[in-house]
């Protein structure tokens, strides 16, 4: 009972942020101010809160937060125009379009319009394909957070059976792809899965990405499993029934304080990486100019 490993997301997030601070300082010394542009469409209160949290996390670390707030009535074309401008703006290194946008807007088209080198939130199909093929730069942030936690706590995946519950484009699908690339055997489950408890019984690694509070029960879990709960439901409740799952697990993330804080730090990390790449590209272009 006492040897449980509690995967503390705040510790991991702080570790990441400390590393980022050094990189941000270097970037600034070389004249580059890393900058994340966030686009919020409409006035959904939780979306407003999320965007504000992300912007504040940027500023706290020294990343410029360029906050764009568009009216809920805009047409898809206007959103595409905003994205195109940000794609072109050399001062912007990352673009985040807060999901969901109002229903009349073609959200997928808007996501796809984000330039791959600024897709730090990992929402484009190109970014997903590159991630699945093993050369993606910025996987979407929650899957990246899950791997960051595993790395921090030195939890390998090679040869283990990972069961991912959920198949969304920003969570279930990319985390399945990332674990597959780490040589896990990966089963992706969802609402049509017939025998979820039996499948979970085989899982060495459980990824909960359903969006249903306390959905995954301890009795479904194999003794000694690693459980990462990416669920975040109203009232700070995860997808995993914590008390019963905790009893079975070798390692488990709490909610809150698990995957959540690391997710935001992945957004910051990707933005800094994008700024570093932009700087390198500029330097390479300059040095080429000199030699000519």
Our finding on whether 194 is near its own copies (CB under 8 A) is: yes
Q: Which DSSP state fits 205?
A: E
Q: Active site includes 54?
A: yes
Our finding on whether 192 is near its own copies (CB under 8 A) is: yes
Closest residue by Cα to residue 267 from 100, 107, 97: 97
Q: Give the contact letters, 144-173, x = binds to its own copies (CB under 8 A), - = no.
A: --------------xx-x-----x-x---x
User: Of these residues, 121, 204, 229, 239, which one is catalytic?
Assistant: 121
Q: Active site includes 222?
A: no
Find out whether 249 and 226 touch, Cβ atoms under 8 Å.
yes
Strand pairing category for 251-252 and 226-229: parallel
Find out whether 32 and 278 touch, Cβ atoms under 8 Å.
yes
User: Of these residues, 54, 66, 173, 269, which one is catalytic?
Assistant: 54
Contacts of 279 (CB under 8 A, 6+ apart): 27, 30, 32
Our finding on whether 76 is near its own copies (CB under 8 A) is: no
Q: Active site includes 204?
A: no
Q: Which DSSP state fits 151?
A: H
Which of residues 90 and 129 has its CB atom nearest to its own copies in the complex?
A: 129
Q: Is 226 helix (H, G, I), strand (E, B) or coil?
A: strand
Which CA distances in Å does 39 have to 47, 101, 269?
10, 10, 19
Which residues from 23-62 bind its own copies, rule CB under 8 A? Answer: none
Our finding on whether 278 is near its own copies (CB under 8 A) is: no
What minimum distance in Å lies between the beta carbon of 185 and its own copies? 4
Our finding on whether 133 is near its own copies (CB under 8 A) is: yes
Annotated binding site: 166-168
Residues in contact with its own copies by the rule CB under 8 A? 108, 124-130, 132-133, 135, 158-159, 161, 167, 169, 173, 176-177, 180, 183-190, 192-195, 199
């Amino acid at each position: 009972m006492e040897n449980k490993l509690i995967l503390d997301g705040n510790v991991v997030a702080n570790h990441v942020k400390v590393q980022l601070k050094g990189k941000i300082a270097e970037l600034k010394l070389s004249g580059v101010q890393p900058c994340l542009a966030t686009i919020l469409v409409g006035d959904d209160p939780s979306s407003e809160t999320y965007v504000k949290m992300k912007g504040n996390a940027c500023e706290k670390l020294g990343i410029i937060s360029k906050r764009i707030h568009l009216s809920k009535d805009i047409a898809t074309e206007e959103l595409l125009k905003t994205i195109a401008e940000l794609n072109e703006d050399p001062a912007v290194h990352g673009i985040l379009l807060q999901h969901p946008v109002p229903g009349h807007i073609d959200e997928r088209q808007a996501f796809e319009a984000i330039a791959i080198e600024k897709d730090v939130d990992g929402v484009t199909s190109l970014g997903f394909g590159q991630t699945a093929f093993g050369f993606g730069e910025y996987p979407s942030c929650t899957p990246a957070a899950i791997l960051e936690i595993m790395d921090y706590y030195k939890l390998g995946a090679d040869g283990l059976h990972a069961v991912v519950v959920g198949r969304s484009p920003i969570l279930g699908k990319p985390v399945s792809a990332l674990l597959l690339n780490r040589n896990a055997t990966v089963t992706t489950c969802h609402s049509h899965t017939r025998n979820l408890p039996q499948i979970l019984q085989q899982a060495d690694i459980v990824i909960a990405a359903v969006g249903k509070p306390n959905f995954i029960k301890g009795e479904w879990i194999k003794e000694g499993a690693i459980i990462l709960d990416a669920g975040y439901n109203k009232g700070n409740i995860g997808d995993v029934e914590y008390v019963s799952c905790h009893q079975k697990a070798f390692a488990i993330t709490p909610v809150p304080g698990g995957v959540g804080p690391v997710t935001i730090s992945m957004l910051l990390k990707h933005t800094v990486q994008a700024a570093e790449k932009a700087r390198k590209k500029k330097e390479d272009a300059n040095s080429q100019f000199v030699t000519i």
